[in-house]
């Protein structure tokens, strides 16, 4: 019997429709593109006028460049970053999953669409299928969530104590 773990077609993800693959696709970026990306990752609410001032090009050039970066899938969305603790979700955990076949959450992420405690799922290689980041209001809520996730495969969880290196922007390198 073959390994059915996390199989079932091309894995993809994105904000709304989960359609960005992990295939290596390169978009040629110049120094202006990288400057725009750096500024937008720092503050996505910057106006085209302010971006133009920062990167020393005209606002229409900024608008055209940003549209091109969005259409190429380089910029995949804009969002606010919310501190889970500030909104009453002080229990943060990472759940390692081993799931197989038709109930695999990386093949069928829609299985968790009604689960707002799940804030991120990352598909992995190796002996585990994925890592699920969850935020809950209490340990008992985390326990209920782990039971639910156990219905999709084997779980192993770890509580997050702190985040010494928070999210970082992708920079030219």
pLDDT for the residue numbered 127: 92
Q: 131 with 95: CB under 8 angstroms?
A: yes
Which residue carries 């900024």 as its tokens? 62
- pLDDT tens digits along 56-75: 999 999 999 999 999 999 99
CATH code for residues 30-71 = 1.10.10.10
- pLDDT tens digits along 68-96: 999 999 999 999 999 999 999 999 999 99
- pLDDT tens digits along 19-61: 444 455 578 999 999 999 999 999 999 999 999 999 999 999 9
- pLDDT tens digits along 107-157: 999 999 999 999 999 999 999 999 999 999 999 999 999 999 999 999 999
Angle separating helix axes 31-42 and 59-71, nearest 10 degrees: 80
SS3 content of the chain, % helix, strand, coil (to 5): 30, 20, 50
In angstroms, the CA 34 to CA 125 distance is 30
Sheet holding 118-123: strands in order across?
118-123, 130-136, 91-99, 153-159
Quickly state the pLDDT bin for 14 (edges 50, 70, 90): very low
pLDDT for the residue numbered 101: 83
Query: Does 13 score more than 90 pLDDT?
Result: no
pLDDT for the residue numbered 91: 98
So where are the chain's domains?
A: 30-71, 83-159
In angstroms, the CA 7 to CA 99 distance is 10
Quickly list DSSP for 66-85: HHHHHHTTSS--------GG
Q: Which two tokens stand for residue 86?
A: 């500030």
Tell me if domain 30-71 and domain 83-159 are identical in fold.
no
User: Quick one: CATH architecture of 83-159?
Assistant: 2-Layer Sandwich (3.30)
């Amino acid at each position: 019997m073959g390994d059915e773990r996390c199989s079932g077609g091309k894995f993809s993800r994105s904000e709304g429709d989960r359609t960005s693959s992990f295939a290596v696709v390169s978009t040629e970026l110049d120094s202006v593109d990288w400057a725009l990306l750096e500024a937008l990752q720092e503050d996505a609410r910057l106006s085209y006028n302010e971006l133009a001032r920062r990167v020393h090009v005209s606002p229409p050039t900024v608008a055209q460049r940003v549209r091109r970066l969005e259409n190429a899938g380089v910029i995949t969305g804009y969002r606010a970053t919310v501190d889970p603790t500030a909104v009453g979700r002080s229990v943060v955990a990472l759940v390692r999953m081993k799931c197989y076949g038709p109930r695999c959450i990386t093949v069928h992420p829609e299985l968790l669409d009604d689960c707002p405690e799940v804030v991120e799922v990352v598909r992995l290689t190796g002996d585990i299928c994925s890592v699920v980041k969850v935020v809950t209001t209490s340990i008992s809520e985390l326990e209920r969530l782990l039971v639910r996730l156990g219905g999709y495969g084997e779980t192993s969880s770890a509580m997050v104590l702190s985040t010494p290196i928070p999210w970082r922007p992708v920079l030219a390198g």
